[in-house]
Amino acid sequence: MFNMWSDYLLPEIELFLIHLPGRDKRISEAPYELLSPLAEVLAGALNPHLNKPFVFFGHSMGALVSFEVARQLRRRHSPQPIHLFVSAHQPPHKPDLHPFLYQLPDNEFLKETEELYGALPDVVRQDSEVLKFYLSIMRADFTMVGTYQYIHESPLDCPISVFGGLQDKSVTQDNLKSWCEQTTSSFNLQMFAGNHFFFQGSRTILPQSIKKTLLST
């Protein structure tokens, strides 16, 4: 889905996608279950490419990953993003609203995650082996989020823009507002109709909003 963003962003914006272990071409690799080591690896891998202005975008767990990578770069005295865009995730300094999901048995885990984030595609549910594999990736993600420990540091210097779905059961609008505490610069919150994956109904919503923000900077 994110590959399509190149069609909606400015021509001079280069799109780089992060493929985590356990996904896409890295499907045979074991996924991360701890966020801190992942942020360190990503910061090191990205650093050689940060010789021009750049921004981060992360949706759901990716919001937390983007935030921690930005902080990891700051600790290394590396270049910082000129803007952080995050979507549909609890602010890092707020307690996780669903901290023990990753510890549930498979049936309960599937039921609870579908209640919060929406049903899995039929093509996944109808194949027991595919479902088992998919659940293992999901559990690793929820383990990463559920075991995350926020360490207090000074806010980031870059602006933060936050996106959320009005019907998202996983995070509230009031909680999304608290992302403002993580920046000394400007802050903006945009809410859209829809659930956790609110942008699936209109895939241009987020890239067009990001483009508009960048044009105004």
For residues 8 and 211, the answer to whether their CB atoms sit within 8 Å is yes
Of the listed 6, 28, 36, 60, which one is catalytic? 60
Report the alpha-carbon distance of residue 210 to residue 83 in Å, rounded.
Answer: 10
List, edge to edge, every strand of the sheet that includes 83-87. Answer: 55-59, 83-87, 160-165, 187-192
Residues in the chain: 217
162: β partners = 86, 189
For residues 193 and 166, the answer to whether their CB atoms sit within 8 Å is yes
For residues 108 and 78, the answer to whether their CB atoms sit within 8 Å is no
H-helix segments, 15-104: 35-46, 61-75
According to DSSP, residue 48 is labeled: G
Phi, psi of 211, deg, nearest 5: -60, -45
Concerning whether 185 is annotated as a catalytic residue, the answer is: no
Q: Which residues are catalytic?
A: 60
